[in-house]
Structure 1
Amino acid sequence: MNIYSEDPRLDQVGKTTPKETKSPTKATAGLLVSFALLLLGTIPIIFGVFRITELVSGAEITPNNERFFASPLPLVLHILSASVYAILGAFQFANGFRTRWPGWHRAVGRILIVCGLVVGLSGVWMTLFYSRPPGTGDLLYAFRLLFGSAMVVSIILGFTTIRRGDVIRHRAWMMRAYAIGLGAGTQALTPLAGLLISGPPTELTGALQMAAGWVINLAVAEWVIRKRLAHSDRDKRNRFIHTSL
């Protein structure tokens, strides 16, 4: 059995059985979720393109960007890998893609593991070795290390669980990793909410607003994970009752 299969039966017949076929409504809902994630992921991609344009065009060096000019490689790797991770990862949540093209899901999954690790590790590296930009205090520094490390650990656990054939836990860990990786998109919105609620950010409120981006994404991911687990348990009970009759 291929370690990236969603169901052992996919390796035997190459396609889902009629019983596994998703309804049009569910397939449409999955695509809507994917496009919503793409829109959220577009926000950091735009900022990333801006940063790379600065480096290529030789923009004026300021206290906010001098660390990037001094060592551009980690930033470029982070932006490029995060862009691929955000775009391809969004479609991994569409049930139609997973069931109709399991080979695509497996191949993209391998790419996402590599890109996700580069995103997390480069983020941690930049936090540790880049000079801190103005307004970055110890709390934000700690948050970046915490969530960057959590993303790396989640991807590793997602990989090891699928190696053991545990699809449910694999999905859960990869969903958590993607939620953290997409935190940059939510972090473009949380400061706006903070500005409306409490005014211009301080070092403390700015750090909390950044952390809120990761926490909100993880909270949504955990809600989806728990909902799917409950649905899976209910299906198992129904199958058990049906076979016992």
Structure 2
Amino acid sequence: MNTADETRPSGWTRTVFYLLCVIAAAAALRRIVALLLINASSRAGQYADLDRTFADHRALTLAHIVPALIFVILLPFWFSARVRAKEEMHRRITQVLFALGFIVGLTAIPMSAHPVGGVTELSAIIVFDGIFLFSFARAFMLFVRRQPRYREWMMRAIAVLLGIATTRPVMGVFFATARLTHLEPRQFFGVAFWIGFTVTYLAGEWYLRRHPTNTVLQ
């Protein structure tokens, strides 16, 4: 049996990865548009309440989501075999990702002072942002030392960051069933955060264990 075939990532793994990047980018763009172009006070319903919450902290929210948007746009290039073959280009992209990632992780801390989902959301942010920053710092130290294992820790941090994309369909289910459950965003946001981040983080760990010597997606 060919060992390389055993460790080669499957097509669905790449598909899920790209889908999460698209969802994360779309969510960030939607929030940016809502902050800059939409008058939240003119909207009605649960989405309007969310828009007003983020609009109250517009500068901090933009400082968090704009770098996150650029981060997820660059991710497919970081994983690209063609880009990796161009060592200097790949290294530059990695450096940019480190700068953006630290901004995203650090700005998440003050944003957690105003969680929509209360204590439940706050606990999820503390746990997973802690994992993200630790993994990112570990990856950065290994990267500076030019040790290839930095990719493992980088991917662990990326799995956490993409958890924000997984929370979106979970939240969508809660919003779609709100008329039946009578739950408001402040009641289900925290639960959605825990579900989304946990699922994506565990999926990342599964991938790293399954492909210990082949931490690439294409």
| Structure 2: gaps of 5 or more residues | 42-47
Aligned to 1:162: 143
Aligned to 1:71: 57
Q: In the TM superposition, what is the alpha-carbon distance from 1:194 to its structure 2 partner?
A: 6.8
- CA separation in 1, counterparts of 2:63 and 2:136? 18
After superposition, where does 1:3-18 map in structure 2 within 5 Å?
Answer: none
Aligned to 1:94: 80
Runs of 4+ in structure 1 over 3 Å off: 29-36, 191-197, 199-206
Q: Is the 8 A contact 2:24 2:72 kept in 1?
A: no
Aligned to 1:103: 88
Aligned to 1:5: none
Give the direction of change, closer, same or farther, for the CA distance of 1:188–1:231 in structure 2 (3 Å limit): closer
Give the direction of change, closer, same or farther, for the CA distance of 1:126–1:157 in structure 2 (3 Å limit): same
Give the direction of change, closer, same or farther, for the CA distance of 1:90–1:216 in structure 2 (3 Å limit): farther
Aligned to 1:218: 201
Equivalent in 93, 107, 119 of residue 138 of structure 1: 119
Q: Which moved more, 1:75-84 or 1:51-60?
A: 51-60
- CA separation in 2, counterparts of 1:216 and 1:96? 30
Q: Using CA pairs below 8 Å that are at least 6 residues apart, which structure has the higher relative contact order? A: 2
Identity of aligned residues (%): 21
Classify the secondary structure of the residue corresponding to 2:55: helix
Aligned to 2:23: 43
- CA separation in 2, counterparts of 1:90 and 1:212? 24
Q: Is the 8 A contact 2:98 2:136 kept in 1?
A: yes
Aligned to 2:45: none
Q: Which moved more, 1:44-53 or 1:136-145?
A: 44-53
Give the direction of change, closer, same or farther, for the CA distance of 1:220–1:94 in structure 2 (3 Å limit): farther
Give the direction of change, closer, same or farther, for the CA distance of 1:86–1:194 in structure 2 (3 Å limit): same
1:123 aligns with 2:103: no
Q: Is the 8 A contact 1:78 1:123 kept in 2?
A: yes
Rg larger for: 1
Aligned to 1:12: none
After superposition, where does 1:170-185 map in structure 2 within 5 Å?
Answer: 170-185=150-165
Q: Is the 8 A contact 2:35 2:51 kept in 1?
A: no
Q: In the TM superposition, what is the alpha-carbon distance from 1:89 to its structure 2 partner?
A: 1.6
Equivalent in 112, 127, 151 of residue 97 of structure 2: 112
Q: How many residues align?
A: 201
Q: In the TM superposition, what is the alpha-carbon distance from 1:41 to its structure 2 partner?
A: 1.8
- CA separation in 2, counterparts of 1:33 and 1:49? 24
Q: In the TM superposition, what is the alpha-carbon distance from 1:209 to its structure 2 partner?
A: 3.0
- CA separation in 1, counterparts of 2:120 and 2:38? 32
Q: Is the 8 A contact 2:29 2:69 kept in 1?
A: no
- CA separation in 2, counterparts of 1:81 and 1:52? 12
- CA separation in 2, counterparts of 1:144 and 1:102? 34
- CA separation in 1, counterparts of 2:176 and 2:14? 29
